[in-house]
Amino acid sequence: MRRSYISPEYVDNKVYGTLNMVEESNFFGSKMLDIENSISIGTQDIIYYQNLKGEQIDYSVESSLPSYIYSPSTDKNSNHTLIVDESQPKYQLDKNTRWILTINLKEILGNYLFGLMKKYRTFEGLKNEMTRYNNASIALENYVTFNVLDRYKLKSVDLYITYKDLRSQSLLRYKNIWNTNIMLPENKMTKVQTETSFDESTIKLFFNQEKPSSDYSFEYFFNINYEKL
C-alpha cells in the first residue's frame, strides 16, 4: 500500500462524556434528569455514602464506611443574615422593631440538590479521572449549577417565630436565636414583606416584632419551598 504522506487535518480521540457537565440538547433529544415536582428545604437531614475519594462506585462497600450528612438546618443557618432595619425611626426600634432577614437561596438550593443527588446516587460509577476537575463531587456540583437550579422556581418562604421574655435579662435585647424546634403552625409569621432578587439568588424578608423588643427577643426558623417549572 502506497503512503500518501499527507497529514490528517484532525484526529478523533475518545473522551468521557462526563468531561462536559452541561447538558446539550439536539434534534434527536437529550438526557433528562427526573426531578421532584416540589421540594421543601426544612429540617430533614440527607444521608449518603461514598468512598474515601468522594466517588460512588460500590454501595455494598461504601455503606460500611462512615456516612456523610447534609443538614438543611445547618446550611440555612450559615447562609442567612438577620439585622435590624437601620432606616426605622427610634420609637419603632424601641418597640415593634423592624427586622431584615436575607437568605442566600441559590447556595442553599444548590447544596440541597447536591445532597439529594448523592443520596440517590445519580452519578454512580463516575470516577474522579472521568471528570474535567479530576473530582467527582466538584463535577456534580457543576452539574447541579448548570442544569438543575434553573428548573426550580421559588414558591414561598415560611418564617416561624416564638418570643422570649427579657424583663429579667435585658442584656439579651436584640439577640435572637436560631431554633429548629419551633416549626409549628401557631408560630408561623403571616405579616411578612418579601423582596426577591431578579435571578432568585437571594430574598429579603421584612417583618416587625409583634411584641416590644424592650421586653422580648425571639427564636426563629424558616423553610424554603420550591416547585418545578
Of 140, 160, 145, the closest CA to residue 199 belongs to: 145
The pLDDT score that the predictor gives to residue 26 is 61
The pLDDT score that the predictor gives to residue 222 is 98
The pLDDT score that the predictor gives to residue 2 is 64
The pLDDT score that the predictor gives to residue 211 is 92
Q: Which three cell numbers stand for residue 139?
A: 463535577
Q: What is the spatial distance between Cα 115 and Cα 70, in angstroms, rounded to a whole number?
A: 6
pTM: 0.89
Write out the DSSP string of 136-192. HHHHHHHHIIIIIGGGEEEEEEEEEEEEEE-TT-GGGTT--EE-TT---GGGB----
The pLDDT score that the predictor gives to residue 70 is 98
Q: What is the spatial distance between Cα 44 and Cα 180, in angstroms, rounded to a whole number?
A: 11
**Positions in the chain short of pLDDT 50:** none
For the chain, domain boundaries: 45-228
The pLDDT score that the predictor gives to residue 31 is 59
Q: State the DSSP code for 22.
A: S
